[in-house]
Structure 1
Amino acid sequence: MTDGTEAFEGRRAAAILGCAGPVLSGGERDFFARHRPLGFILFARNIETPDQVRALVADLRACVDDPAAPVLIDQEGGRVQRLRPPVWRAAPPMAPFGLLHGRDPIAAVEALRLDIALIASELTALGIDVDCAPVLDVPAPDGHEIIGDRAFAEDPSVVGVLGRVAMEAFLTHGVLPVAKHIPGHGRAVADSHLELPRVTASLAALEERDFPPFAALGDCPLGMTAHIVYDAIDPARPATSSAAVIGGVVRGQIGFDGVLMTDDLSMKALSGSFETRAVQAREAGCDVILHCNGDRSEMAAALDGAGMMDGEGARRWCAALARRDDPPAGFDARAAAARLDALLAGSP
C-alpha cells in the first residue's frame, strides 16, 4: 500500500481514549504507550491554560510516538464547548445560524464560515486537530432538550446546507470535522448519557426527516454514531452496535464512507461489559471505539474488545487525513469575530 494505510493497519488500537486530568500520570503514560490507541479526546477536566493544553497534547502524542495522532474535542459552541471564557471565546450555538438562514441565507453562510474559522483557529493553536462537530441532528418538537439549540434548524435541508458549510470551513482551517450523531438523534425523548432512547418513528419518517442531512454530508471525513434504538430498523440493538443500522442505513442508504466512531462507550445508554460494548460496535461496522472518562480499567476492557485498526478503518483514516488543509496564514481572528457579531446582530 502507498497511501499510508500500512502505518495504521494492525499497529494501532481502533480506539480514541480520554485521560483523567490536565497532566498525564506515569501510569497513564505507560498505559497509552503499551496499548497505542489511534488518538485521544479532551474534556473540561483536561483544560486549564493554553500552555498546559499544548503540553498535554504533545505528551499524549509522545505516548504513541506519533506527532500526527488525532486529538479530539467537543467544541460546538453554546452549551457544548470545552474551551471556555475567560481564556477562550464564548462561541454561539448553531441555532442562531439557522435562524439567520431563514432571513438571509447569504449572511448565514458567511457568519457560519467565520464562526468555524474562529473555532478552528483556537483548536489548531493548541495542537487539537479534530472537532466533534457539526451536529446534523434534526430536532423533533417532542425531542429531548439534549440536542435543542445545538442543531442548526428543524428543516433537514437547512441542516444539510449549513452542515456542509461547517464541514468545509473546518477542513479549510486545518481541523477534521465529525458528523454527529448518525443516523439522527433529534427524535430521541431521552438523554443517551443517562439512558437508552428508543425511537418509534417509521422508516419512511426517518428517511424523510432524519437521514437527509447525513446523506448530504456522506463525504464527511469522520462520523459519530447515536446510542439510540430505532424500532423500524433494529428493535433489539442501539445503532452503535447494530449491523442493520450501520451496514444497511449508515453505509448503505446514507452512503457515509468516512471513519465511523462510536459515541462514548461509557454512556449509560449502553449495557454489558466494556469489552462487550466494544466488540459489538466493531462487529456492527464501527471503525473506531470512543471511550471518554479516563477510567483505565474501563479503557483496558474496551481495548480488549476494540482490536486493531483494520484495512478499511485504516484506509478511511488515511483518506480523512488527506482531506485537511493547512491552517491559512494571516487569519485575523479579531476582525472575523467583529464581522460575525455584526452578522448575527443583523447588521449589513
Structure 2
Amino acid sequence: MSELDHLVRTRMLPGATGATLPDWVRRGLEAGFPGITIFPGPHLEDPGTVARLAASAREHRADALVSLDEEGGDVTRVEYAAGSSYPGNLALGVIDDPGLTRRVATAMARDLTGHGVNYNLAPSIDVNSDPGNPIIGVRSFGSTPELVATHGAAFIEAMQQAGVAVAAKHFPGHGDTNVDPHLSLPTVTCSAATLRARELAPFAAAVTAGAGSLMVAHAIYPALDPGTPATLSPAISRDLLRGELGFDGVVLSTAVAIEAGNGPERAVAAALATLAAGADLILLGPGVDEALYDLIHAAVVDAFERGELRVAELRQAADRVNGLARRFAPAPAGTPEPSAVGLEAARRAIRVHGDAVLSRPATVLEVRPEGNSIAGGAGWSLGDALAAHGLAGRVQQIDGPDATWERSDAPLVIAVRDAYRTPWAREWTIKTLAERPDAILVPVGMPDDAALTSGAYVCAFGAGRVNLRAVADLLADLPADLPADSPAGT
C-alpha cells in the first residue's frame, strides 16, 4: 500500500450500520481509517451494541475514533431503545444555567467513554431562528446567539475535559432552514450581516472553547457563496472558518453521507469537491458500502496523482485527524456509573400551566408524528413513565390523522411530539382538545402556540426518557427534589 493510499483513508470516516463491522471497514482501519461512526437502526436496540462495535474497531486500530450522535433528549445512540437519561439542548437552554450544562456534558462524556466512545458528533450549536425548522428544534439551546454561544461553549469545554472530542455543528448555522438536508438541499436566505451577527456567534465561541472539530452544514448560504453548499465551498470552509475565525481543528464534512443516496457519481463528486473545499475528514454515511468506497478512493487518489488536489494539504489534514485521535485516546471501557444530573436538569426544565396532577389512572394518548432523520426511532413513552406510578390506565399510540381512541370518564393526558411541523398531528390534537378541554396536554418536543390549549399544559422541551420521567413525577405530585434513585418513577 502506498503512502497516498494510506493518507486518503486517514481522511475518511466509514459508518457502522449493523451489529458487526463489515470486513472492508476492519481492513480499512488497519490501512488508515481513523475510526468509525455508529449510525442509528435496529441494531442499537441492543444496548450492548455500541460497546461491542467500539471494541471491534480498536482490535484493528488501538486509537480509533469511535463516533456517534449523542445529544441527549430526542437524539441518542447509546440509549436508543429506552430513551436518553439526559435532557437535550433546548431543556438546558430553558434552564439557562451554564454550570448545569457543564455537569450534564461531563456526565454524558463519562457514559460515552464507558461505552468506548471518544468522539461525539455534538453539540448542535445552531441558533433556532426559524421555529418551524424541521431538523433542529429541540436540538438547539435556543433562539438567541448569546444563549447558544454560552451553553455551546460550556458543553464543549466540559465534554472534552472529560475525554470525549466534539464535532460542534452545523457550521455556519442551520437554524434558519425549512427543509431537512437529508431529504432536500436547504437554502439559508438571510443577509450576510444577519448571518454573521446571529448564526456565526456560537461557532466563534466554539473555536475559542477549543472544539476539536466542527461539522459543516450541507446547505446553501447565498450571502457567503451563491449556489454552492457549505460542505463544498472553499469560501466557507477555508476563507471563513480557517481564515476569519482562525479554526485550526478538524473540519468534518457530511456531504458524502447525504449524497450517497443519490447515486455513485454524486457521491464521488461530493467527496472530491469536499476535499477541495478544505474538509479534513469526510463522513461517509450509511449509504457508502465497499463498492462505493472503492470508487471514491480511486477517484481521490487519481485527483492527487494528477495534481488536482495537493499532497501537502493531504498530509496536513491527516496530521490534524491523527492529532485528534491522539488527543482523545480512548480510556479503558467500563460500566458507566449512574448520574442524577440528567433527572435534575429535566425536572428544572419543566414549565407548567394549570392544574397538572392526576388523582387516578389516566388514558394516555401518545401522538407520534414520524421522527426527524437524525432522531431516528429512538424510544419515548409518557405512558411507560406514568405506569411506573400506577397512573397509566389505557395507553394508545396515535400515528395518523384517522386514528381513533376509546372514550371513557378517566382523566386524559395527550402527549404530542413536535406538532408544529406535522399538520395532521396538530389538527388531531386541536380536535381532541375541543372534545376534552379538561385534558392535560404534554408537548414532548418544541412547545406549540396558543392553538393548542387545554385545562393544563406541561412542557417538557424534549422527548428523552428522563424528560418524560420528570413529567410523570410532576403529574404524580411527587416533590421536585425527589432523589434520583427513589423507587418512585424508576
8 Å Cα contact 1:112/1:166 also seen in 2: yes
Instruction: Give secondary structure in 2 for the equivalent of 1:141.
Output: coil
Q: 1:88 to 1:254 in 2, by over 3 A?
A: same
Equivalents in 1 of 2:327, 2:148: separation in Å? 22
Instruction: Give secondary structure in 2 for the equivalent of 1:188.
Output: coil
Q: Which residue of 2 aligns with 1:24?
A: 21
Q: Supply the AA of the counterpart residue of 2:85.
A: A
Equivalents in 2 of 1:275, 1:38: separation in Å? 20
Q: Structure 1 residues 42-51 or 258-267, which shifts more?
A: 42-51
Q: What does residue range 214-225 of structure 1 map to in structure 2 within 5 Å?
A: 214-218=203-207, 219-225=210-216
Q: 1:48 to 1:185 in 2, by over 3 A?
A: same
Instruction: Give secondary structure in 2 for the equivalent of 1:72.
Output: strand
Deviations 1:60-102 (A, max 9, x none): 233xx3211101000111222112266664321201111111x
Q: Which residue of 2 aligns with 1:39?
A: 35
> Which residue of the other structure, out of 70, 78, 84, is the alignment partner of 2:65?
70
Deviations 1:94-114 (A, max 9, x none): 01111111xxxxxx2232122
- 1:57: Cα distance to partner? 1.5
Instruction: Give secondary structure in 2 for the equivalent of 1:110.
Output: helix
Q: Which has the higher contact order (CA 8 A, sep 6+)?
A: 1
- The two structures, once aligned, show a CA RMSD in angstroms of 3.1
Larger radius of gyration: 2
Q: Supply the AA of the counterpart residue of 2:221.
A: Y
Identical-pair percentage: 30
Q: Which residue of 1 aligns with 2:134?
A: 145
Instruction: Give secondary structure in 2 for the equivalent of 1:179.
Output: strand
Instruction: Give secondary structure in 2 for the equivalent of 1:310.
Output: helix
8 Å Cα contact 1:111/1:344 also seen in 2: no
Q: Which residue of 2 aligns with 1:316?
A: 320
Deviations 1:125-145 (A, max 9, x none): 111110011111112236522
Equivalents in 2 of 1:21, 1:186: separation in Å? 31
Q: 1:144 to 1:336 in 2, by over 3 A?
A: closer
Q: Does residue 208 in structure 1 map to residue 197 in structure 2?
A: yes
8 Å Cα contact 1:197/1:269 also seen in 2: no
TM-score (norm 1): 0.84
Gaps (5+ residues) in structure 2? 302-310, 352-479, 482-490
Equivalents in 2 of 1:302, 1:39: separation in Å? 17
Equivalents in 2 of 1:261, 1:211: separation in Å? 17
Deviations 1:175-198 (A, max 9, x none): 101110011111122110011111
Q: Which residue of 2 aligns with 1:297?
A: 291
Instruction: Give secondary structure in 1 for the equivalent of 2:12.
Output: strand
Q: Does residue 116 in structure 1 map to residue 121 in structure 2?
A: no
8 Å Cα contact 1:211/1:254 also seen in 2: no
Deviations 1:166-219 (A, max 9, x none): 011111211101110011111122110011111221111111101111011113
Deviations 1:288-331 (A, max 9, x none): 11112053333333333455983321332344346549879998
Deviations 1:208-267 (A, max 9, x none): 101111011113111101001111121121010111111121112232221001025231
Q: Structure 1 residues 184-193 or 39-48, which shifts more?
A: 39-48
Q: Which residue of 2 aligns with 1:241?
A: 232
Q: Which residue of 1 aligns with 2:453?
A: none
8 Å Cα contact 2:256/2:282 also seen in 1: yes
8 Å Cα contact 2:29/2:61 also seen in 1: no
Equivalents in 2 of 1:185, 1:270: separation in Å? 21
> Which residue of the other structure, out of 138, 148, 158, is the alignment partner of 1:159?
148
- 1:49: Cα distance to partner? 3.6
Equivalents in 1 of 2:217, 2:78: separation in Å? 24
Q: What does residue range 234-273 of structure 1 map to in structure 2 within 5 Å?
A: 234-268=225-259, 272-273=265-266
- 1:124: Cα distance to partner? 0.8
Q: Supply the AA of the counterpart residue of 1:334.
A: S
Q: Structure 1 residues 252-261 or 293-302, which shifts more?
A: 293-302
Equivalents in 1 of 2:170, 2:81: separation in Å? 29
Gaps (5+ residues) in structure 1? 1-5, 102-107
8 Å Cα contact 1:172/1:327 also seen in 2: no
Equivalents in 2 of 1:11, 1:149: separation in Å? 36
Q: Which residue of 2 aligns with 1:104?
A: none
Q: 1:143 to 1:250 in 2, by over 3 A?
A: farther
Q: 1:168 to 1:36 in 2, by over 3 A?
A: same
Equivalents in 1 of 2:46, 2:111: separation in Å? 12
Q: Supply the AA of the counterpart residue of 1:288.
A: L
Q: Supply the AA of the counterpart residue of 1:82.
A: R
Q: Which residue of 1 aligns with 2:280?
A: 287
Instruction: Give secondary structure in 2 for the equivalent of 1:300.
Output: helix
Q: Which residue of 2 aligns with 1:227?
A: 218
Instruction: Give secondary structure in 1 for the equivalent of 2:258.
Output: coil
Instruction: Give secondary structure in 1 for the equivalent of 2:71.
Output: strand
Q: Which residue of 2 aligns with 1:91?
A: 86
Equivalents in 2 of 1:143, 1:134: separation in Å? 20
Q: Supply the AA of the counterpart residue of 2:156.
A: M
Q: Supply the AA of the counterpart residue of 2:103.
A: L
Q: 1:85 to 1:67 in 2, by over 3 A?
A: same
